[in-house]
Each structure stands twice: as structure tokens, then as C-alpha cells.
Amino acid sequence: MTISTRPAPGPSRTFQFPRFERTALPNGLQVVVAPVRKLPVVTVLAVIDAGATSDPPGREGLAQLTAEGLREGTLKHDGIQILEGFEKLGSSLEAGADWDSTIVSMTLLRDKLTPGLELMTEVLTSPSFPEREVERLKAERLAERAQILAEPRGLADESFSRFLYAKRSRYSEPMAGTTASVSVITRDEIAAFFASRYTPDAVTVIVVGDIHTEEAVTLVSTTLGGWAGKRASVDAASVMQARSTRAVEIIAKEGAAQAELRLGHIGIPRSHPDYFNVVVMNALLGGLFSSRINLNLREQHGYTYGASSFFDWRREPGPFVIATAVQSEVSAAAISETLKEIDGMRTEEIPEEELSLATNYLEGVFPIRYETTSSIASALANLVVFGLPENFYDTYRENIHAVRPSDVLRAAQGYVFPEMLQIVVVGDPAVVKEPVGKLALGDLSVRSATEA
């Protein structure tokens, strides 16, 4: 059977994001409740305004260690007892920090909610950060970092951030810290960070699942309503690109058969008004499997198993990144073809049919993302962290559908800058340096992988 035309997409699945309400407790703690009564389960997620951008200089990784340390013991129970307490409830407590926030969450059966919330409250309000457990967490982080630096993909990601952002920018260093910074963080510094950042006016508790709004607010008020304290002010992350012109850095991995490529520059903040135009433009450029960069490098030339691009959305402008791994011998050719695709996206409007492929996909997968209580709670956390409009998810598909070819062209011209691209190649200099240098992309430097 020969298929000469692609079948037309079916109608979009009807979907309405769950209704939710916000309530503020007298101590400043915010409560967001979304009743979703399909199954007898509830997700509770606490968003704390204590992300990695709060880390003091030289103490990068402090927010992450503080989040991980929450589960290691409280003033009443040690870490094992905390772990067993959640296991008896048929749940577990997850805790971690990203750039803008710390998230603590659990999902459990409806009839276990009250004891679960009481235990979660104990963890949130009175962690003890035992010295021995802090040292164990630090050792784990240092071991992870050694592994990252030994693996080309992780090395490329870290090297790209450091090459892209100015040294005084927090974004130039890894979110979970460096070997040097993690090594010197003390238990007392973690406790001090907790005392200054984990305060009720810096916390939003999100409750999603089989519960009425009034009952959820009462439960949170009973458990966390007596928590006192005021958050310390923190300056916004400094965001400066290391240089204003295009440049190339080769990270030496002698003998490497493949080269990891990263190209990009500083992007835009998550709250940017052109968000939807940029999302669709990036989907077409490198965000989807059918994107121009992936089809070029993978399908047309066979350089790679996959290539992608993305805007790393943060409160402050995160990086715009094009990432792939290619055979070392074709590194220069892959970079050249990628630049051609960027130029093409910025030169003329994209055909309607190509645009509809991206928008239909983005509209179609949207409901699938929010089928569980935990995914709905995470979506609501994004509203909190990034200050998005209350109707963001109600109008998401409408906004995606409204993007026109002229909007895509404007987004490509306005937010993708070939002349400012910073390019990192992790590979064998003996193979990649000369051909990449012949592209004359800008200043080219080579450094050892051990310096990362």
C-alpha cells in the first residue's frame, strides 16, 4: 500500500483544566486547592521560594542540599523514622530544588491525608539536618558530579553554561553546585539557609485530588497555620552573557569517537509576553522530532541519532540551547547545517502545513500531560513560581492555535541570534579543531576537560 498524503488530524480532544481556588492564611502561607475526584488519591505539593538562585556566591548547591536534608530527620524523628512513617501511609516524600523554587511533595490515599500532612508539616517546619546525614548528602553530590564530568553529555551541559554566562552570574555554575562549593558547605549554613528561606510567607501548599476545597484549607490551616516567620529578601539572579560576539570552545576528550555539540545564547524569561510564539517557533526549529534541525542532521545527513533545541524557562532569562551528539568527523558539517536551519527560520515565513504539524501536536498532547493529581499539582506550581495568569491552562491550546507563520518569523528574528551563538564542542581536538576552525565562527579556544 502506498500512502501519498498524510491523513488530516482528528478533532482536538475536549479538555478543561481542573478548577482551583486560592486562599491566604493569616501567617502568609498560600493554599491552592483543585478538587479532582476521579480516584481516592490526593497530592500535596509545597512550593517554597528557595531555589538555587538564592545560593550565596561560593556556596552553590546550598538550596539543593537544604531540600534533600529535609527528609533526614526532625526535632522529633530521625531520617529512618520519617521514611518509615511515609511508607506506613503508602507514600513517600519527595524534595528537591530547581533554579527558582524548592518543591516538597507526596501523593497518598485520601484516608491517609491527615496523618500524611501532619508528618509533612513536621518535615517542613522542624528539620534537624543531622551532621552525619549532611556529610553523606555532600558525598553523594560530589560522586554525582564526578560522574557528570566524566560523561561527555554532562560535561557539555556544564561547560556550555559556564561558557555562556558571565562568571558572576549564578547561572554560570551548575544548579546543584560545583565540587569546590559543595565541599565547603556546612551543616550550620544549611540550617541558616532554612531559617531564612523556609518561612510561611514564602510557601504555597497545593492540594489536588479527592477532597473539597473547604476541607483542604481547614487541614492545611490546622497543620501549618501556626508556623511563624518572615522570609529574607534575595536579589534576582544576575544574568549576563560572557561575551557579545560568537565564540567557540572545544573541550578536549582525546580519542572520543563522538562529539557533543551545544549552540545557543541567553534566551528570555518564562513570563515573556511572546511565550507562545517562541514555543511554536522552537518546536519547528528543533523542539519536535519532525523539526527542521532534527530532520536535517538525522534524516537527511545521518550525522546523529537526534538533535533538539529548547528554551530553558526560568524566572530570569535561561539559555536557548541546540544540543546533539555527532560523529567527530562531521562536527563542523553539523554546526554548518544547524546554522543554515536557523537562517532559514529567520528568513521567510514557515508554510501553513508545517506550522499546523507543530500546533496540532502541541494542542493534542496538552490534555495527556494532566491526567494525574501530581501532574496537575506541578502545573499549578508553575503558576505560582512564574506568576502566570489564572487562566493560563484554560487558554493554552487557544493561544497555541492562534500562532501564525508571521508570528513564527517574528519570534525567530526576535529571539534567535546567530551572531551571538556560543558554541561548545566536547570531542577530540585532533579531529574537530581544524574543520570547526575553518568555519570562522569566532574566537576559538581549547581547554582540558579536567578544568570544568
Measured CA to CA, the distance from residue 36 to residue 13 in angstroms comes to 19
Q: What pLDDT is stored for residue 235 in this prediction?
A: 73
Q: What pLDDT is stored for residue 1 in this prediction?
A: 43
Tell me which residues of the chain have a pLDDT lower than 50: 1-3
As a three-state string, the secondary structure of the chain is: CCCCCCCCCCCCCCCCCCCCEEEECCCCCEEEEEECCCCCEEEEEEEECCCHHHCCCCCCCHHHHHHHHHHHEECCCEHHHHHHHHHHCCCCCEEEECCCCEEEEEEEEHHHHHHHHHHHHHHHHCECCCHHHHHHHHHHHHHHHHHHHHCHHHHHHHHHHHHHECCCCHHHCCCCCCHHHHHHCCHHHHHHHHHHHCCHHHEEEEEEECCCHHHHHHHHHHHHCCCCCCCCCCCCCCCCECCCCCEEEEEECCCCCEEEEEEEEECCCCCCCCHHHHHHHHHHHHHCCCCHHHHHHHHHCCCCCCEEEEECCCCCCCEEEEEEEEEHHHHHHHHHHHHHHHHHHHHCCCCHHHHHHHHHHHHHHCHHHHCCHHHHHHHHHHHHHHCCCCCCCCCHHHHHHCCCHHHHHHHHHHHCCHHHCEEEEEECHHHHHHHHHHCCCCEEEEEEHHHC
pTM above 0.85, yes or no: yes
* Core vs surface per residue 215-227: b (16+ CB within 10 A) or e: ebbebbbebbbeb
Q: What pLDDT is stored for residue 239 in this prediction?
A: 85
Q: What pLDDT is stored for residue 8 in this prediction?
A: 65
Phi, psi of 224 (to 5 degrees): -115, -5
Write the CB contacts of 202 (distance below 8 Å, at least 6 apart in sequence).
48, 49, 50, 231
Q: What pLDDT is stored for residue 4 in this prediction?
A: 55
Is the Cβ–Cβ distance between 239 and 69 less than 8 Å?
no
Return the bridge partners of 45, or none.
Answer: 105, 206
